[in-house]
Structure 1
Amino acid sequence: MMFRRKMDTAWGVLVGGLCALAVGCGDGTTEPDDAPDNAPLTMTEAVALFEGMRAILQDTTPRIIHASEDSLVVACPLGGQARRTVMFVDESVADTLRLAWDFTAAPAGCQFSSGGLQFTADGAPEVRERGAFVLAGFFEFSIEGSVTGRLDWQLDDRSGSCDIDMVLSGEPDLSGTEPSVAAVLSGTLCGHEAEVEVEGVPGPAG
């Protein structure tokens, strides 16, 4: 009887150990929510995705796949495509002049490299950038606008969605030998509070 009791105890320990290693077995454990294939983008990755998509949005020499009256379908750098619309409008009221732009991009399997990372992006439904240079009289000059939208992304074996809600603001920078524009986009980017310095603002300074 003593031998049987010891064998039963040893068998229970062995089964318990195997149970701890397996998924299931009673209450068991489940795949953690932060598993690598579900991990959201880090701040660095989110900025890389945003800057890569914005470069496609503003590319002035894209490879055009199809053109219509109101949009272009352009090839993405590493495969896939994006449907783009571009609009510029000049508005003048009294002594205030607004030079406005309105861009959209709806990527479809759009592949590109940014910040040393390779992304695939799809629009959900698109990314939109709106902005304006505002000149009031001869001395007051500012930039205003926004970038909004949502992207579905893939990066290596991870995937997810990125909501974009950024505000554009800036002013002229006269400190250098040539005038330039100092502007930032700030707001929510893929769940992060972000601030991105802007290069390549459309319009007179772009």
Structure 2
Amino acid sequence: MDENVKTIVRLHMEQAKKALEAHHIKTYLVKDKQEACALASSMIKDKEKVSDGGSMTISEIGLSQLLKSRDVAYISHNEPLSKEESEKEAHAAFNADTFICSSNAVTMDGALINVDGHGNRVAAMIYGPNQVIVIVGSNKLVKNEKQAKKRIQEVAAPANCVRLHRQTPCVKLGSCQDCESKDRICNFYVKIDHDMYDRIRVIIMEEEAGY
């Protein structure tokens, strides 16, 4: 990344951190995937029950692989699971000590914006686990909720539908068509803009990651 662009990215990261922490959401700024992985791991104690919501970001930074080597009870939604196993894992996440995930967008006015297909990820972000660690690349920083929705419709949702081999219009057209497909993944739209219970930790990387 060009140094001049990095300067602007860092300004956006600082702005997002300030806004999130004004909303009682503890936020950390790091340079790259390696630093993000190490920081997230340091927030998780040995013997903890850890779950995730399925995330390209978590895989890309190497956190999934690291947790598998640690003394924690880790169940990943990134692993190939049967429908029954997936449902069991999603319910178990509510009793986890730590839930790790990414966010479709983080606004510079201090909100986490997400769209879910089944709702298991956003549900666990809102309630259940004692700690929620949200890891995002700088590519997910947007100005406000309107831009977050645009990003979801034009980048995150279509890319995830391709990844998951869904038969939705966005796979062919490249952007959300607000479809009625049975493969639709845009079913639950959730905005988190305050954390009054000191559960949520957001790690923002200067590097880009995920969709």
| TM-score range normalised by the length of the shorter chain | under 0.3
TM-score for both structures, normalised by structure 1 = 0.23
Report which of the two has the higher share of strand. Answer: 1
Report which of the two has the higher share of helix. Answer: 2
TM-score for both structures, normalised by structure 2 = 0.23
Give the greater-gyration-radius structure (CA).
1
More relative contact order in 1 or in 2 (CA 8 Å, sep 6+)?
A: 2
